[in-house]
Amino acid sequence: MSNAIVSALNLLQADYAVFYQKLRGYHWTVTGPMFFQLHQKFEELYLDMAIKVDDLAERSLTLGGSPVTTIKGMIELSRLHEDAEPPNAAAMVRTVYTDLNLLTVWNREVAALAAKEDDVATANLLEGMADTQEKEAWMLRAFLES
């Protein structure tokens, strides 16, 4: 087990957990002319993030580590932040776009660390997550440019 990889996975798990909850909040509070599309998109994204949180925790366990198990621990560890108040719909999309790009960068950094330590399974998991997020970010960017 690599302590550095487990620590990095736990950090990502915390980031994804905060992002998941942010998406749930957006799903619940979005309003305006794009309500139906954004309400559905935020649900699609938070369901995907729930799987990713689980995958990261289970990968940490597979490597002999311990995942973050409390909300308090996730909030303290995460590099992403909650919103003080629900933003408007356009700001929600901008935040999701920004956060997805950050998560993608962080995934690729940890994937590189895992590859360097010959942990192919972790590298593959994280690269796959990053690949799907790049496509989501592209679609959100196209939405923001309209």
CA distances, 106 to each of 47, 63, 133 (Å): 20, 19, 12
Q: Looking at domain 3-145, does it have CATH number 1.20.1260.10?
A: yes
Contact criterion met (CB below 8 Å) for 89 and 38: yes
Contacts of 13 (CB under 8 A, 6+ apart): 53, 56, 57, 60, 67, 68, 74
DSSP state of 1: -
Pairwise CA distance, residues 3 & 65, whole Å: 8
Q: What is the pLDDT of residues 70-124, one digit of tens each?
A: 999 999 999 999 999 999 999 999 999 999 999 999 999 999 999 999 999 999 9
State what percent of residues in the chain have pLDDT above 70: 99
All structural domains of the chain with their residue ranges = 3-145
Nearest to 38 by CA among 100, 114, 91, 1: 91
pLDDT on residue 2: 80
Predicted TM-score of the model (pTM): 0.96
